[in-house]
Structure 1
Amino acid sequence: MPAANARQAGTSPEPTRNIPTDGPATITSQAFPPAVSLRVIPRDQHNISRKDISPNALRVLYRLRDSGFAGYLVGGAVRDLLVGGHPKDFDIATDATPEQVKALFRNSRLIGRRFRLAHVVFGREIIEVATFRANVDDGSGDREQHEGGRLLRDNVYGTIEDDAVRRDFTANALYYAIEDFSVRDYVGGFEDVQARSMKLIGDPEQRYREDPVRMLRAIRLAAKLGFEIDPASAEPIARLAPLLSEAAPARLFEELLKLFLSGNAVASFEGLERFGLLPAILPETAAALASNRSGALRSMLLEGLRGTDARVANDEPVSPAFLFALLLWPAYCRALIGLQAQGVNAEEAQRRAADRVTLHQLGTVALPRRFSLPMQEIWLLQSRFSSRQRKRVMRLLAHPRFRAAYDFLLLRLTASSEHAEDVAFWREAQTQSGEELSAALGVAAPRDVYAEDDAAPPKRRRRRRRSGSAAPATE
């Protein structure tokens, strides 16, 4: 990169070096933090190929290079390509400022307040381009830090070396260079990827305090990649779990969707349990599972998450409403039992339990109403599956949430065989005509769809008052 451009972007040029072609080069600079060194892994010693990289990402990289800027494919895409995965997102790091990126690409827009960056839009694909960021604010940047150590805003630009050490995990601090197709490693991430290890850069406790959501991210990435969390990175998690209460509820909702809708829901849930984060993120579910001695609720939950993973693997949609109905079902059952023990009638107890669990969960995770209301419907419809009255059966079959509620009933069967009769009945009911269903219920088939009203007594015709007559006086 030309020195002039480096100064313009607020970065420093890379040190002059000779990179051998017969093996990785390790170069330590006095300007780096003591524990940071650059290792260059040449093309013949890694498996990343341009044919596996988004053509749009390559376009961005080449234009940055041709305009005198440094640009690297970075983060999850490099990590996933090294383990033979197929990344969906391709992020780029550069020494160009967000404004300079916007000037280069007419199809770009600037986003973010906490992290200012550029989105280069190619139809439905977005290439995220971020400027190298530094750890230390010399007064020229824009950084705001919470008293507890959490970063509220971080727009201090620096060099690629600065950028590497401020990333979260070593596996995410790998840079693919388009000019020689090498991988640049500043913090030992290449070895950690080979060893299948998720390791935080820097002091784990400090990094989690900067952003508590990193604890969830560690579990999600370990589940996705089949990695183990490095012991030093794992040790503070259970102790710092309460810090998640400081995270924005809307952000935690998005993180839960990533945890459970990325095809690794079972491993993610087990990770939350193993590292003590389940009580912090799903507190009432954690309490309900702990009190359920038979383990039936946990078995049902895991079976549902296995189904979720299967649907994701088959590229089938999964409703967040159904997901949260599953995740919060243990909490709902516990609340329902408590209300019924207080003498609340069944129907009222169901409504109050659904509202209580939803309200309490909203204190941690911002569950939108477009998902919380269908979630409650799935729960409340469960009690109707025991009915065999024709009118109620037909009404339930026509309910817009019937299929989701029935699928949920199938999951309940994995926890208790007492639902077998209901499952068998409703499986048949879905395949039968109205006459066949009536016969199965032991009632005569109605003459038409309004037959339920035929037996109702005729309405009295209201007597018309004669004009001029007055209402009787009252004493």
Structure 2
Amino acid sequence: MSESILETTGDPTSNEHDSPARSASVRPLDEASSQQASPAEPAHRRRRRRRLAQGPEASARAADGQQVAAPALLEQSDEALPSEGAPAHETRERPMASSLRDDGAPADIPPERLDLDGIKILNRLHRFGQQAYFVGGCVRDLLLDRPPKDFDICTSAHPGEVRSLFRNCRLVGRRFRLAHVFFRGGKLIEVSTFRANPIEIEEGEDLPEDLLITRDNVFGTAEEDSRRRDFTVNGLFYDVRLGRVIDFVDGLKDLRARLIRTIGPPEVRLREDPVRILRAVRFAARLGFDIDPATYAAMEGAVEDLPRCASPRLLEEIFRLLRGGTSRQAFELLDALGALRVLLPPVAEYLEQGGPTARRDFFERLGALDERIKVSPVDDSLIIAVLLSPLAGRLMLEDDRSASEAVDEVLDALVQTARLPRRIGDRARQLLWAQGILSGERRRRRSLASFRHHTIFPDALELFAIQVRATGQGEQRLAAWREGREPFEQAPPEDAVKKRRRRRRRPRGKHSDGGPPGCASDGGSTPGQA
């Protein structure tokens, strides 16, 4: 970023007040109260006072209607936040951590690509003497010229201090205490505190028997926080005031090499949190990166530790793999690592026993799901139905199961092994069961019009479309369903309709042609009784 756009008000690692704007932003509350306006001061006066603090050039540009430089944006941008209401002991000036380097690499990130609400949070934290930076995936994606999904912030302020500074804040998490700052429209920005690794392993030291991290609330410095993260490309900080990337872990080098590498010894980092195996797979598939050979070997060795992680965390990571639009590449990696037999035993069994044809069918369906997700997100029940549809189909063909029996078997196994919520499982069961109607393998007793108006029909048709794209079969039927036409090539035989009608019990004594009571003649059915 050019120096003219993000000209800083001072070095964030220094305690010297190099300019009036910098000194006003970090002076203790009791010392600066005489110069700061009271809460009742009108907004236009506060804006004018801030422009004056930046010097006459900024005031002149504002008066002429010109765009004010980024520092003015940073100084003004937190006015939309609720008032601080922070106690005096929470807002005193604090020295910056000495471990933070001030020679970060310049980054050409236009200000308009940054999140304005995130800048508001950063600005307020800076004004109360705290370090605060964009961190992690948003920095990585900005440098890769990809749109960030979230803008996360990391700060020297403890969770309670963050809550005291932001009225629209809520603390969440037990294992990892976080602050969520909420904005209009349901938007939230996650603010975490610099943390240190609770388990320090010296070089050459024997590894403990159990490295699994169960609590992660040991606070530390910015460098310690960077070094405790999972992969080098996720350990980058971005300082909006300097327009520089702060890199303690050589993440920029791996970003240029398009490489996923753990921070520190991979055997230790993956045993600390085996879920990092799934995260490495997700980043490699999503970004098109390679996995460092040493990291990949450690992932293979740590697969057996996955069941030790909490089931909800594992299930959420599996859904992230399936929702991301790159599930085919991700599951091919999981299959190569041998992780599917631990995470999804029914899927692993299907791939092992089905041969090349079954594998091709399974991964083609995931590829079709990816194409559909690129258009718009889909419900989790539809994702699970796509994942299990080839398994249910094999049971129906090879074991002569009914559709409902096959669906129940594969879903019950997934609910037990992956702790799939019943709500998602029940809806996935309905979607899979409806495929028999859409494909013509099973006829409905009621009219097709009532099926079209059923709440399950839109997602069931989406699942059918994904299967048609994957297999290349049923395109005409899919077009008929979408256009509202009769999807069957011919109507059901007339004698079949009459046979169903003859089953209906008729009132005693009302029979024709002298037949026995309860027997219906060919034309004896009343219209509307079918």
TM-score range, shorter chain: 0.7 to 0.9
Query: Residues 8 and 210 from structure 1, CA distance in 2 versus in 1: closer, same or farther, beyond 3 angstroms?
Result: farther
Q: In 2, Cα distance between the equivalents of 1:399 and 1:248?
A: 36
For 2:307, the equivalent position in structure 1 comes to 245
Q: In 2, Cα distance between the equivalents of 1:247 and 1:128?
A: 23
For 2:97, the equivalent position in structure 1 comes to 13
* Runs (5+) with no aligned partner, structure 1: 20-24, 26-39, 139-145, 341-345, 447-451, 462-475
For 2:244, the equivalent position in structure 1 comes to 182
1:319-370 residue CA offsets vs partner (Å, 9 max, x unmatched): 2112111212343345455643xxxxx43xx434333322222233221122
State how 1:139-218 maps to structure 2 within 5 Å: 148-218=210-280
Deviates more, 1:249-258 or 1:69-78: 249-258
1:164-189 residue CA offsets vs partner (Å, 9 max, x unmatched): 11011111111111231111100100
Query: Residues 2 and 459 from structure 1, CA distance in 2 versus in 1: closer, same or farther, beyond 3 angstroms?
Result: farther
- The reply to whether residue 401 of structure 1 matches residue 401 of structure 2 is no
Q: In 1, Cα distance between the equivalents of 2:463 and 2:99?
A: 60
Query: Residues 415 and 111 from structure 1, CA distance in 2 versus in 1: closer, same or farther, beyond 3 angstroms?
Result: closer
Quick one: percent identity of the two aligned structures? 35
The amino acid across from 2:324 in the alignment is S
The amino acid across from 2:221 in the alignment is T
1:290-337 residue CA offsets vs partner (Å, 9 max, x unmatched): 222242x333333332333233322x2312112111212343345455
Q: In 2, Cα distance between the equivalents of 1:12 and 1:126?
A: 27
Shift of 1:398: 5.6
Tell me which of 116, 132, 135 is aligned to 1:71.
132
Q: In 2, Cα distance between the equivalents of 1:202 and 1:89?
A: 26
State how 1:21-420 maps to structure 2 within 5 Å: 25=103, 40-42=104-106, 46-123=107-184, 124-136=186-198, 148-295=210-357, 297-314=358-375, 316-336=376-396, 339-340=399-400, 346-347=401-402, 350-384=403-437, 385-387=439-441, 391=445, 394=448, 397=452, 399-413=454-468, 420=474
Q: In 1, Cα distance between the equivalents of 2:214 and 2:296?
A: 24
Give yes or no for contact 2:172–2:180 (8 Å, CA) kept in 1: yes
The amino acid across from 2:387 in the alignment is L
Deviates more, 1:303-312 or 1:318-327: 303-312
What SS does the corresponding residue of 1:153 show, helix, strand or coil? coil
- The reply to whether residue 428 of structure 1 matches residue 483 of structure 2 is no
Q: In 1, Cα distance between the equivalents of 2:140 and 2:124?
A: 23
Shift of 1:437: 7.1
Q: In 2, Cα distance between the equivalents of 1:269 and 1:308?
A: 13
Shift of 1:284: 1.4
Deviates more, 1:234-243 or 1:213-222: 234-243
Q: In 1, Cα distance between the equivalents of 2:345 and 2:485?
A: 45
The amino acid across from 2:147 in the alignment is H
For 1:28, the equivalent position in structure 2 comes to none
1:200-239 residue CA offsets vs partner (Å, 9 max, x unmatched): 0111111111111100000101111111111111112122
What SS does the corresponding residue of 1:119 show, helix, strand or coil? strand
For 1:33, the equivalent position in structure 2 comes to none
- The reply to whether residue 459 of structure 1 matches residue 507 of structure 2 is yes
Q: In 1, Cα distance between the equivalents of 2:152 and 2:484?
A: 53
Q: In 1, Cα distance between the equivalents of 2:93 and 2:273?
A: 26
Q: In 2, Cα distance between the equivalents of 1:339 and 1:109?
A: 53
Shift of 1:407: 4.4
Query: Residues 265 and 390 from structure 1, CA distance in 2 versus in 1: closer, same or farther, beyond 3 angstroms?
Result: closer
Give yes or no for contact 2:97–2:222 (8 Å, CA) kept in 1: no
The amino acid across from 2:160 in the alignment is E
Give yes or no for contact 2:321–2:330 (8 Å, CA) kept in 1: yes
Shift of 1:245: 1.1
Deviates more, 1:218-227 or 1:241-250: 241-250
What SS does the corresponding residue of 2:237 show, helix, strand or coil? strand
The amino acid across from 2:480 in the alignment is E
The amino acid across from 2:123 in the alignment is Y
Query: Residues 357 and 135 from structure 1, CA distance in 2 versus in 1: closer, same or farther, beyond 3 angstroms?
Result: same
Give yes or no for contact 1:134–1:159 (8 Å, CA) kept in 2: yes
Q: In 1, Cα distance between the equivalents of 2:382 and 2:461?
A: 11
Give yes or no for contact 2:235–2:249 (8 Å, CA) kept in 1: yes
Query: Residues 375 and 132 from structure 1, CA distance in 2 versus in 1: closer, same or farther, beyond 3 angstroms?
Result: same
Query: Residues 388 and 429 from structure 1, CA distance in 2 versus in 1: closer, same or farther, beyond 3 angstroms?
Result: farther
Give yes or no for contact 2:163–2:171 (8 Å, CA) kept in 1: yes
RMSD, aligned α-carbons = 3.6
Q: In 1, Cα distance between the equivalents of 2:212 and 2:100?
A: 36
Give yes or no for contact 1:9–1:96 (8 Å, CA) kept in 2: no
Shift of 1:388: 7.4
Query: Residues 429 and 274 from structure 1, CA distance in 2 versus in 1: closer, same or farther, beyond 3 angstroms?
Result: closer
What SS does the corresponding residue of 1:155 show, helix, strand or coil? coil
Q: In 1, Cα distance between the equivalents of 2:128 and 2:241?
A: 13
Q: In 2, Cα distance between the equivalents of 1:365 and 1:74?
A: 31
The amino acid across from 2:425 in the alignment is S
Query: Residues 371 and 9 from structure 1, CA distance in 2 versus in 1: closer, same or farther, beyond 3 angstroms?
Result: farther
The amino acid across from 2:506 in the alignment is P
TM-score by length of 1: 0.77
Shift of 1:248: 1.7
Q: In 1, Cα distance between the equivalents of 2:356 and 2:469?
A: 13
TM-score by length of 2: 0.69
What SS does the corresponding residue of 2:417 show, helix, strand or coil? coil
Give yes or no for contact 1:137–1:156 (8 Å, CA) kept in 2: no
Give yes or no for contact 2:171–2:178 (8 Å, CA) kept in 1: yes
Q: In 2, Cα distance between the equivalents of 1:167 and 1:132?
A: 11
Give yes or no for contact 2:94–2:129 (8 Å, CA) kept in 1: no
The amino acid across from 1:64 in the alignment is L
Give yes or no for contact 2:231–2:262 (8 Å, CA) kept in 1: yes
